[in-house]
Chains A and B, each alone.
Chain A
Amino acid sequence: GENVEQHPSTLSVQEGDSAVIKCTYSDSASNYFPWYKQELGKRPQLIIDIRSNVGEKKDQRIAVTLNKTAKHFSLHITETQPEDSAVYFCAAPTGFQKLVFGTGTRLLVSP
């Protein structure tokens, strides 16, 4: 069935290091892969997304890569800053724009 697996569940890095979060999806028809950042008590915020016709997309310190053959996509954050600390969710659509979310990664960036 529809499933999105996300790893790791927690990630602690030092300021300036890079962070990588990986997701695997099951629905081969999925063609759009968003990443959301959710700070404590706030709404999920769309930070970057990628469509299936592209292998990589970059926006300043954030990048997303997609491997459709392996059904993997990853979020890369370079030069991490304390304000990057949050819970990050990957998602993949199934059916008619129904988003299936991963279980989340709690990123902690220490100064």
Chain B
Amino acid sequence: DAGVTQSPTHLIKTRGQQVTLRCSPKSGHDTVSWYQQALGQGPQFIFQYYEEEERQRGNFPDRFSGHQFPNYSSELNVNALLLGDSALYLCASSFLPTGTGGREQYFGPGTRLTVT
């Protein structure tokens, strides 16, 4: 049973470029959340996808966008990269049964993005 996977592991981009990060959720999970973790800080919520729709969004600009595919995998796109976008990008998957309430979220290994 595969856990959450992410690709690529590391990425180096220059300012102004665009990047796409990918995430495959844990088997049986249908919800993917993306987080940005700057060095020495806790993960910051970017957005969450469920049923191929963005369900909730954190305080990130529109340069950050995403997509979820029918197989529940997800992509995070960042346009017009800034130096401050350098961080570890984590995706977390969970299963959303009927009703609301917190559910266990399991993190992937992350993609380390460096913007020069």
Using a CB–CB distance below 8 Å, which chain A residues touch chain B?
30-34, 36, 42-46, 49, 51, 89, 91-93, 95-104
> Number of B residues contacting the other chain (C-beta, 8 Å)?
29
In contact, B48 and A97 (Cβ under 8 angstroms): yes
Residue from B31, B42, B48 in contact with A103 in the complex, judged by beta carbons closer than 8 Å:
B42
In contact, B102 and A46 (Cβ under 8 angstroms): no
Q: Is the interface of A mostly helix, strand, loop or mixed?
A: strand
Per-residue CB contact flags for chain B residues 91-116 toward chain A (1 = under 8 Å, else 0) read 01010100011111111111000000
Using a CB–CB distance below 8 Å, which chain B residues touch chain A?
31, 33, 35, 40-45, 48, 50, 55-56, 58, 90, 92, 94, 96, 100-110
Given contacts A96-B56, A98-B56, contact A89 B104 (CB under 8 A): no
In contact, B48 and A45 (Cβ under 8 angstroms): no
In contact, A99 and B105 (Cβ under 8 angstroms): yes
In contact, B33 and A103 (Cβ under 8 angstroms): no
* Alpha-carbon distance A39/B100, docked complex (angstroms): 31
Q: Find the residue from B43, B44, B58, B96 having the highest chain A CB count within 10 A.
A: B43
B22 to chain A, nearest CB (A): 15
Given contacts A51-B102, A89-B42, A104-B41, contact A96 B90 (CB under 8 A): no
Given contacts A96-B55, A97-B31, contact A46 B45 (CB under 8 A): no
Given contacts A96-B56, A96-B100, A98-B56, contact A46 B108 (CB under 8 A): no
Q: Find the residue from B55, B56, B101 having the highest chain A CB count within 10 A.
A: B101
**In the complex, which residues of chain B have a beta carbon less than 8 angstroms from the beta carbon of A103?**
41-42
In contact, B104 and A49 (Cβ under 8 angstroms): yes
